[in-house]
Structure 1
Amino acid sequence: MPRDRDEPVRLTRIYTRSGDAGETSLGDGSRVSKLDPRIGAYGTVDELNSLIGVVLAAPCPDPVAQVLARVQNELFDLGADLSLPWSGEDDRLRIAQPSVDALEADCDRFNESLPELRSFVLPGGTASAAGLHVARTVCRRAEREVLVAAGEAPVNPLAAVYLNRLSDLLFILARVANAAGGVAEPLWRPGATR
């Protein structure tokens, strides 16, 4: 049965055995080592997406959940973007400036209602806030891995920018989750354990 036009992929069998020798295919069909930095970068983006799924599976404030649902789809777009060699001149699925702009608008919107920070925030509080902090740290790692990949092969320059903004948003959303849960943010108290 032919695939529908708006059906992005059809997987009839999950295992292929084609990667057993340590190689995999990029989105254009070219074969590379599974140790290729692009594979590492989009693998970490996938890990980040999975962590966001964990946050969404737990009680999470509705406004936060709505943004995270959009971000999950964008992270899949980003993974697809990283799996395709970058030429800068094609019309394939790519992370573009409007996605970065939306993250910035979300940062401004959610941060507006939060109290001013007077100390560094320790990861924790509600379960959703703690999960968002874990996602934030994986997002930073994904950003670093995208930069490594960009040093080896052409990569969409907005991929790292998107992840940089997303890590800021995840931090803000963790603060929002704690505020919505009525939980005081755990703050860093330098030297408190001495």
Structure 2
Amino acid sequence: MTVNLTRIYTKLGDGGETHLGDMSRVPKTHPRIEAYGAVDELNAQLGVTLTVAGLPEAYAAWLRRVQNDLFDVGADLAVPHGGDRDRLRVHAGYTTWLEQACDEVNAGLAPLKSFVLPGGTPAAAHLHVARTVCRRAERRALGVDDGNPEVVRYLNRLSDLLFILSRGANGGDEPLWEPGASHQPPPPGAQDS
């Protein structure tokens, strides 16, 4: 597939509508636009993450692959099913690859004993932000009526990978939730009033 963009602005969206991949026009608030817009935001966040020092090279290579795959996800979301042309669709192989990456990294991590607080190293913190954007993209993809269920599975598994990579980027020194750690008991006699 060749993409040839000679003009970036067209003025066609100035009225609040845009084209889907099948050339139908929809409002820019359409669930498909919301979904692939969230995927685009995720891709941009991954681009920022790739600029952070301390990100292991293996993770960076995986994230670059994910960035390309996210364009495939966006292409899938941008085109309703049907029509007379074959379209690029996300298939189970995309998700299987993510699962293999998850298993590879997770095998070297200590079991969790509490929930992880977003943060730690700069690389881990950026991965956590990407994870939350990925979860939003997944929720938006669920709002696409005739969407490809493999897109939702892919985004779900990608958020898992981003979580696991954040743990790996913290090298075992990750901030953990301490339930009630800042809870102060009421002063004596406060319950009686």
TM-score, normalization: structure 1? 0.90
In structure 1, how many angstroms separate the alpha carbons of the residues matched to 2:86 and 2:22?
14
> Could you say what the CA RMSD is over the residues aligned between the two structures, in angstroms?
1.5
1:96 matched to 2:91? The reply is yes
State the aligned residue count.
182
Structure 1 residue 88 displacement after superposition: 10
Task: After the TM superposition, list the runs of 4 or more consecutive aligned residues in structure 1 that deviate by more than 6 angstroms.
Answer: none
Quick one: which amino acid aligns to residue 179 of structure 2? P
Secondary structure (helix, strand or coil) at the match of 2:26 reads strand
Residues 81, 93 of structure 1: 8 Å contact kept: yes
In structure 2, how many angstroms separate the alpha carbons of the residues matched to 1:89 and 1:178?
49
Structure 1 residue 172 displacement after superposition: 0.1
Q: Which residue of 1 aligns with 2:81?
A: 86
Q: Which residue of 1 aligns with 2:139?
A: 144
Structure 1 residue 30 displacement after superposition: 0.9
For residues 59-81 of structure 1, give each alpha carbon's deviation from its aligned partner in whole angstroms, at most 9, with x where no partner exists.
21101101101000000100011
In structure 1, how many angstroms separate the alpha carbons of the residues matched to 2:87 and 2:180?
51
Quick one: which amino acid aligns to residue 63 of structure 2? L
| Structure showing greater Rg | 2
Corresponding residue to 2:127 among 118, 132, 137: 132
1:106 matched to 2:98? The reply is no
Structure 1 residue 87 displacement after superposition: 3.5
Residues 80, 93 of structure 1: 8 Å contact kept: yes
Secondary structure (helix, strand or coil) at the match of 1:163 reads helix
TM-aligned CA distance change 1:20 to 1:89, over 3 Å? closer
Q: Which residue of 1 aligns with 2:36?
A: 42
In percent, how many aligned pairs have the same letter?
A: 59
Q: Which residue of 2 aligns with 1:71?
A: 66
Structure 1 residue 89 displacement after superposition: 9.2
TM-score, normalization: structure 2? 0.91
Secondary structure (helix, strand or coil) at the match of 1:121 reads coil
TM-aligned CA distance change 1:87 to 1:158, over 3 Å? farther
Quick one: which amino acid aligns to residue 144 of structure 1? R
**Structure 1 segment 165-184 matched on structure 2, within 5 A:** 165-179=157-171, 184=173
In structure 2, how many angstroms separate the alpha carbons of the residues matched to 1:50 and 1:39?
16
Q: Which residue of 2 aligns with 1:187?
A: 176
Secondary structure (helix, strand or coil) at the match of 2:7 reads coil
Q: Which residue of 1 aligns with 2:57?
A: 62
In structure 1, how many angstroms separate the alpha carbons of the residues matched to 2:154 and 2:62?
14
Quick one: which amino acid aligns to residue 21 of structure 1? G
Residues 88, 156 of structure 1: 8 Å contact kept: no
Q: Which runs of 5+ in 2 are unaligned?
A: 184-193
Q: Which residue of 1 aligns with 2:191?
A: none
In structure 1, how many angstroms separate the alpha carbons of the residues matched to 2:72 and 2:22?
15
In structure 2, how many angstroms separate the alpha carbons of the residues matched to 1:163 and 1:186?
25
Quick one: which amino acid aligns to residue 107 of structure 1? C
